[in-house]
Structure formats: structure tokens, C-alpha cells
């Protein structure tokens, strides 16, 4: 039996979790509100907020787990990719905390952690290898073929913007607030997804491109606003529903192709955008049509959290993969 304390601080959420083997005992997340007024994450403010949050968050995770500090067998942390200043806070904290307890540290890749969140033991079915995972976050969009926990082949990825970035930018163009993903998701529920059509780019293989969708959305609105300054206000819900349908449809079309070509019958989604309600329901639909199995993470494991860092850390712990105390974070 092992107890792992996990720390995540790669972007704008400070999180700590405790796992007993693959079972989650606690998962505390402090989201930073300071960025809302700027319409995006301000790196300097993020690292400052991490510094304020890290001790209460770690303390809370240990208390909620009902364990004692000395029960911890290893400290796992997100080494990268992410914002350097943000990563520094979590990495330095994890190192000093582990050193004070004379326990080993485990470095975790943030993207692997998103994918491995599916292996947290919730008493439900977990994916079997090989399976395909669509990783969609604010910084990444990849179709991965998993052959084992740490054997992830990138079948395709975005050549420019990430899916979450495209959604956030569409929200920004409409002046809806930040982060735009959850806002568009909510507004889209009241809109007609076929009200407007936005073309998706023809791009080879399993790769994606989102910058063109964003630009055509921008030009479309610019033209309409010339005729009617209230266009966005009047058609907000329809615009959200239409752009969301475009992005989700594009994402799933490639995933479906990849699964057929690789004879894979299990598909998972992970990352912040996997919280999107249309992506979740459409994945179910695609999987039902093919008699495939869909793996959809609970909402708390979609956006950044330390639970996923803990499960990745647990599998590395089993393999005895510990990190050296001198190792630096990486941004990409």
C-alpha cells in the first residue's frame, strides 16, 4: 500500500490531492479569480497566487484525506508543461516538503496526467489497452493511442491553436468573459446550432487546425456588425451553439477516423474541454453507433487538478521511477 501526495500548479489552479494506491482520498483545488478582469491568465499574478494558495491547499488535502504527514510515501508533482513561474512554486514546494519528510519525489507530465485520470479507481470500468484518448485543453489538442500507461503515441495534433484556446477566443470576440469554454457551453444550450455555418479546414491525417475557424468567426461577425451593431447581443446563443457544434464536430470526426483505422473500440476524452456537454454527449452517440465504449471523466477531473497527477505518480511509484531533487521544471 502506498500513500501519495500530489501537487499541480502548471497554470492558474493550485491543487493538491492524496491517493491511497489508486483510490482518491482528497482533491483540493483553489482556482484563481484574479485573471478574470484581464480576460486571460497573467503569468506573474498566477505565480503569486500559487504562493499564497499552496500551503492551505496542501494542508487541506492532508486533513481531508484523514492521514498524517508521516504516512506519505512519495510526493508527486507536475514538472511541465506549463507556465514557468507557476510550475516553480509547485515544484519547489514538492521538493522541500518531500525532503523534510525524507521521502522520494516523482515528476509527472501534465498531459499524461490528464489522460491517466481515467485510471483513478471509482469502482467503475477503466479503459483497456489499446484505447484512443482525445486530449483537449486550453493548451493542447491531441489524438493519442495508448498501448500502456506511459506508451502514448501521438496520432494527430493541432498545428496551431488548441481547441480550448479557439473556444476561449470565440468567447472573447463576443465579449462573454473568461474562461470562455464554460460560458459558451451554457449559452449554447439555449441556441440553435444550425443557425450559422462555419467551415472546418481540410487538413491531412488526424491533425487539427483551429486558427482558421477563429478567423472566419471574427470576419463573419465583423461583417454582420456593420449592418447591425446589436448582432452579437441578439444572436448570442445561436452563435455559441453554432461555433461549439463546429469545433466538437471537427474534433470527433478525426477521432472516429482514427479509431476505425486503428481498430480501437474504446475512446476516452480528457482535459478541460472534455467538460463540454456537447462533446460528452456527441462522443456517447458516436460510440453507440459503432458499439464502442466511451470513457468520459467526471467534471472534477476534466480541468486541472492534482488527483490526475497523483494517479500518474502512483503508476510511476509502482515502477520505482523517482526523480532527482535537482530537476528543473519545463515549459513545453
- Is residue 15 a contact residue for Zn ion (CB under 5 A)? no
Choosing among ligand KG4, Zn ion, none, which partner's interface includes residue 27 (Cβ < 5 to 8 Å by kind)?
none
- Is residue 80 a contact residue for ligand KG4 (CB under 6 A)? no
Please identify which residue in the block is written with the cell numbers 506573474: 44
Per the DSSP assignment, residues forming a β-bridge with 4 are 19, 74
* Minimum CB–partner distance for residue 186 and ligand KG4 (Å): 8
- Is residue 329 a contact residue for ligand KG4 (CB under 6 A)? no
Q: Which stretch binds ligand KG4 (CB under 6 A): 90-98, 132-140, 146-154, 207-215?
A: 132-140
DSSP character at residue 1: -
Residues 241-300, interacting with ligand KG4 (CB under 6 A): 271-273, 275-276
3-state secondary structure of 34: coil
User: What number of H helices and E strands is found in the chain?
Assistant: 9, 10
Helix pair angle (43-65, 84-101), 10° resolution: 30
* Minimum CB–partner distance for residue 168 and ligand KG4 (Å): 5
- CA 77 – CA 6 distance, rounded (Å): 6
Q: Which of 14, 26, 112, 137 binds ligand KG4 (CB under 6 A)?
A: 137
| Cell numbers representing residue 92 in the block | 519547489
Please identify which residue in the block is written with the cell numbers 496526467: 113
* Minimum CB–partner distance for residue 12 and ligand KG4 (Å): 8
Q: Which of 167, 221, 239, 240 binds ligand KG4 (CB under 6 A)?
A: 167
- Is residue 113 a contact residue for ligand KG4 (CB under 6 A)? no
How many residues touch ligand KG4 under the rule CB under 6 A: the total is 19
- Is residue 179 a contact residue for ligand KG4 (CB under 6 A)? yes
- Is residue 304 a contact residue for Zn ion (CB under 5 A)? yes
Q: Are 36 and 177 in contact (CB under 8 A)?
A: yes
- Is residue 168 a contact residue for Zn ion (CB under 5 A)? no
Choosing among Zn ion, ligand KG4, none, which partner's interface includes residue 182 (Cβ < 5 to 8 Å by kind)?
ligand KG4
- Is residue 139 a contact residue for ligand KG4 (CB under 6 A)? yes
CB environment 113-133: b (16+ within 10 A), e (fewer): bbbbbbbbeeeeeebeebbbb
CB environment 170-191: b (16+ within 10 A), e (fewer): bbbbbebebbbbbbbbebbeeb
Binding-site ranges for Zn ion (CB under 5 A): 137, 304
Residues forming contacts to ligand KG4 in the complex (CB under 6 A) are: 11, 137-139, 164, 167-168, 179-182, 185, 271-273, 275-276, 303-304
Amino acid at each position: 500500500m502506498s500513500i501519495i501526495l500530489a501537487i499541480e500548479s502548471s497554470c492558474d489552479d493550485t491543487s493538491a490531492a492524496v491517493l491511497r494506491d489508486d483510490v482518491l482520498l482528497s482533491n483540493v483545488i483553489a482556482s484563481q479569480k484574479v485573471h478574470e478582469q484581464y480576460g486571460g491568465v497573467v503569468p506573474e499574478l498566477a505565480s503569486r497566487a500559487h504562493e499564497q494558495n499552496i500551503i492551505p491547499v496542501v494542508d487541506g488535502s492532508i486533513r481531508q484525506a484523514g492521514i498524517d504527514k508521516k504516512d506519505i510515501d512519495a510526493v508527486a508533482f507536475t514538472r511541465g508543461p506549463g507556465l514557468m513561474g507557476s510550475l516553480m512554486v509547485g515544484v519547489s514546494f514538492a521538493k522541500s516538503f518531500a525532503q523534510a519528510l525524507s521521502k522520494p519525489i516523482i515528476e509527472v507530465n501534465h498531459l499524461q496526467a490528464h489522460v491517466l485520470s481515467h485510471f483513478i479507481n471509482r469502482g467503475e470500468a477503466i479503459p483497456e489497452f489499446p484505447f484512443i484518448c482525445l486530449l483537449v485543453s486550453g493548451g493542447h489538442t491531441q489524438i493519442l493511442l495508448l498501448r500502456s500507461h506511459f506508451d502514448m503515441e501521438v496520432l494527430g495534433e493541432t498545428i496551431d491553436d488548441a481547441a480550448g484556446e479557439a473556444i476561449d477566443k470565440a468567447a472573447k470576440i463576443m465579449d462573454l468573459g473568461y474562461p470562455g469554454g464554460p460560458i459558451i457551453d451554457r449559452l449554447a444550450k439555449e441556441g440553435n446550432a444550425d443557425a450559422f455555418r462555419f467551415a472546418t479546414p481540410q487538413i491531412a491525417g488526424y491533425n487539427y487546425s483551429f486558427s482558421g475557424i477563429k478567423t472566419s468567426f471574427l470576419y463573419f461577425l465583423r461583417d454582420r456588425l456593420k449592418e447591425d451593431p446589436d448582432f452579437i447581443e441578439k444572436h448570442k446563443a445561436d452563435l455559441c451553439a453554432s461555433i461549439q457544434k463546429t469545433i466538437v464536430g471537427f474534433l470527433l470526426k478525426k477521432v472516429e477516423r482514427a479509431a476505425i483505422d486503428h481498430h480501437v473500440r474504446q475512446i476516452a476524452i480528457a482535459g478541460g474541454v472534455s467538460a463540454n456537454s456537447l462533446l460528452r454527449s456527441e462522443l456517447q452517440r458516436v460510440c453507440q453507433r459503432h458499439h464502442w465504449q466511451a470513457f468520459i471523466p467526471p467534471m472534477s477531473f476534466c480541468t486541472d487538478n492534482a488527483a490526475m497527477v497523483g494517479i500518474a505518480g502512483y503508476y510511476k511509484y509502482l515502477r520505482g521511477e523517482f526523480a532527482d531533487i535537482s530537476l528543473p521544471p519545463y515549459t513545453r
